[in-house]
Amino acid sequence: MTVPPLSTIGIIGGGQLGRMLAVAAAQLGYQCHIYAPDERSPAADVAQLWTRGDYDDAEAMERFAQSVDILTYEFENIPVEPVAALTAFRRVSPNPEALGIAQDRALEKAFVDKLGARTAPWATVDSLDDLKAAIARVGTPAILKTRRDGYDGKGQARLRSIEDAESAWTAIGERPAILEGFVNFEHEFSIIIARGADGRVVSWDPAENFHVNGILDTSTVPAHPSILAEADEALALAVRIAEALEYIGVLTLEFFAAEGGPVFNEMAPRVHNSGHWTIEGALTSQFENHVRAICGLPLGSTELVAGGAQMRNLIGDQANDWGAILADPRAHLHLYAKRFPRPGRKMGHVTIVG
Ligand SMILES: Nc1ncnc2c1ncn2[C@@H]1O[C@H](COP(=O)(O)OP(=O)(O)O)[C@@H](O)[C@H]1O
Ligand SMILES: [Mg+2]
């Protein structure tokens, strides 16, 4: 089912991922219609059409769906039911089942465990008593993570010993959570694949990801040799997940490179921050291949263009350094045109190729 150029792609969510998707879609001759609750958004700024609406406003969502040819989403923490309801009107890619699994850490971990993934020991936690029982099973050090709505390290608390149980439970707002054993990893990496409507899968080089304060700081390709040694196994898992979900579009998996092999951390049913380097660093970007995949076009080559690339996020007022960044003539600066540079907020990124 091909959605040809000149058609309108509906994107749920208005952030920078939607912005870069809309730019890639425009290059291929598509229009984009953004649906987001914000007055203005980074994605709406570059799209032909946008609607301001809440994600649980079923009526507005239906009107939006009726106005487009195909639907996708760029934001993970949207309620699944209203999105699933839209499948009555238009194809939604990736399918809402993938969204439902990826936005709940317990469903996600159980799902990948069934597919043979290596995961840190984990247990669900719904109360302080559960947490104490989970600590007994999982051990310490450990990380308590809310099942839902966590991103950029938010909704997490670390525990050094059972003494930390109460403070950790309070710190995450006493919400349904999972406790995860702490993984002694050497490096973190991500695997990004695109799966087309015909089931064909392409993958980019694994990116080595470095986090500061729980937020991605840099993604570097090629990755450290210890990551490259584990990339095949990680990629095989990504493909199994995509096939199990009959997934169409770009899918991202985050891993820890540990001694015994790649440890699955989490997945995102969408384009990902650790793939921004592909805009200049690969023959086809994650954004373009996502558009191609959901529209039923052939996927583009994911080959590196200059042997490698490094992407650095601009967080908070780091984006004010745009002048100094551009002093390096090799720098590709991306600013998301967010008006309020809160500390910890992703304002842009810069990529250096080669
Ligand atoms: N089980 C773990 N062991 C060691 N470090 C972890 C573990 N879980 C998360 N981290 C660290 O915290 C970061 C953020 O956690 P993650 O689960 O990816 O949440 P988010 O949704 O905020 O990205 C990870 O990239 C990693 O650096
Ligand atoms: Mg993460």
Give the domain ranges of the chain. 8-92, 121-181, 187-353
Rounded to an integer, what distance in angstroms lies between the CA atom of residue 117 and that of residue 109? 9
| Mutation to probe ligand 1, out of 146, 156, 265 (largest number of atoms < 8 A from CB) | 265
Tell the residue nearest (CA) to atom 21 of ligand 1. 151
Query: Which ligand lies nearest the alpha carbon of 214?
Result: 1
Q: Please tell me the number of the ligand nearest to residue 153's CA.
A: 1
Give pLDDT, residue 153: 84
Q: Tell me how far the alpha carbon of residue 154 lies from the centroid of ligand 1, in angstroms.
A: 10
CA distances from 87 to 9, 92, 345 (A): 14, 6, 32
In terms of average pLDDT, the best of 37-41, 205-209, 214-218 is 205-209
Q: How many CB atoms lie within 10 A of CB 210?
A: 13
In angstroms, what is the span from residue 213 Cα to ligand 1's centroid? 10
Q: What is the mean pLDDT of residues 277-292?
A: 98
Closest ligand 1 atom to residue 152 Cα is 22
Q: Is the pLDDT of residue 52 over 90?
A: yes
The pLDDT of residue 257 is 98
The model's pLDDT over 90-103, given as tens digits with 9 standing for 90+, comes to: 999 999 999 999 99
Strand partners, 215: 212
Ligand 2 centroid vs 60 CA: distance in angstroms? 31
* Atom 26 of ligand 1, nearest CA residue: 214
Euclidean distance between CA atoms 80 and 73, whole angstroms: 11
Amino acid at 144: L
What's the pLDDT band for 219 if we cut at 50, 70, 90? very high
What is the average pLDDT across 27-55? Answer: 97
Bond before 222 cis per omega within 30 degrees = yes
Instruction: Retrieve residue 330's tokens.
Output: 């090799």
Q: Which residue's alpha carbon is nearest to atom 12 within ligand 1?
A: 214
Task: Quickly name the fold that domain 187-353 has.
Answer: D-amino Acid Aminotransferase; Chain A, domain 1 (3.30.470)
Q: Which residues contact 321 (CB under 8 A, 6 or more apart)?
A: 314
Predicted confidence (pLDDT) per residue in 300-324, tens digit: 999 999 999 999 999 999 999 999 9
CA dihedral 124, 126, 131, 136 (to 10 degrees): -40
In whole angstroms, what is the distance from residue 200 CA to residue 297 CA? 11
Query: What string of H, E and C letters represents the secondary structure of 85-109?
Result: HHHHCCCECCCHHHHHHHCCHHHHH
23 has a pLDDT exceeding 90: yes
**Fold topology of 8-92:** Rossmann fold (3.40.50)
- pLDDT classification of 214: cutoffs 50, 70, 90: confident
pLDDT at 341 exceeding the cut of 90: no
* CATH architecture of the domain covering 121-181: 2-Layer Sandwich (3.30)
Residues with CB under 5 Å of ion ligand 2 are: 254
Q: Going by CA atoms, what residue is nearest to atom 20 of ligand 1?
A: 151
In this structure, which residue's CA is closest to atom 1 in ligand 1? 182
Instruction: Output the ligand 1 site: residues, CB below 6 A.
Output: 120, 143, 145, 150-153, 180, 182-183, 188, 211, 214, 254, 265-266
**Would 8-92 and 187-353 be classified into the same CATH topology?**
no
Please choose, from the candidates 66, 71, 75, 88, the residue with its C-alpha nearest in 3D space to the C-alpha of residue 32: 71
What is the whole-number distance in angstroms between the Cα of residue 297 and the centre of ligand 1?
Answer: 35
pTM of the model: 0.97
Which ligand 1 atom lies nearest to the CA of residue 153?
Answer: 22
Q: What is the mean pLDDT of residues 51-70?
A: 97
* Contacts for 337 with CB less than 8 Å, ≥ 6 apart: 19, 42, 45
Query: Which ligand 1 atom is the nearest neighbour of the CA of 154?
Result: 22
Calculate how far, in angstroms, residue 96's C-alpha sits from the geometric centre of ligand 2. 20
Ligand minimally distant from the alpha carbon of residue 215? 1
Expressed in angstroms and rounded, the spacing between residue 251 Cα and the centre of ligand 1 is 18
Residue 342: per-residue pLDDT: 86
Give distance in angstroms: CA of 353 to centre of ligand 1. 27
pLDDT at 310: 98
Mean pLDDT to the nearest integer, 319-346 = 94
In DSSP notation, 276-303 reads: TTHHHHBSS-HHHHHHHHHHTPPPPP--
- How confident is the model at residue 221, as a pLDDT? 98
Q: How far apart are CA 84 and CA 63, in angstroms?
A: 15
Determine which helix (DSSP H) or strand (DSSP E) holds 27, and give its type and residue range. Answer: helix 16-27
Per-residue confidence band for 151, with pLDDT thresholds at 50, 70 and 90: confident
Tell me the backbone φ, ψ of residue 26, rounded to 5 degrees: -60, -40
Residue-level pLDDT at 174: 96
Count of beta carbons in the 10 Å neighbourhood of residue 334 = 19
Q: What is the CA(6)–ligand 2 centre distance, in A?
A: 35
Instruction: State the chain's mean pLDDT as an integer.
Output: 96
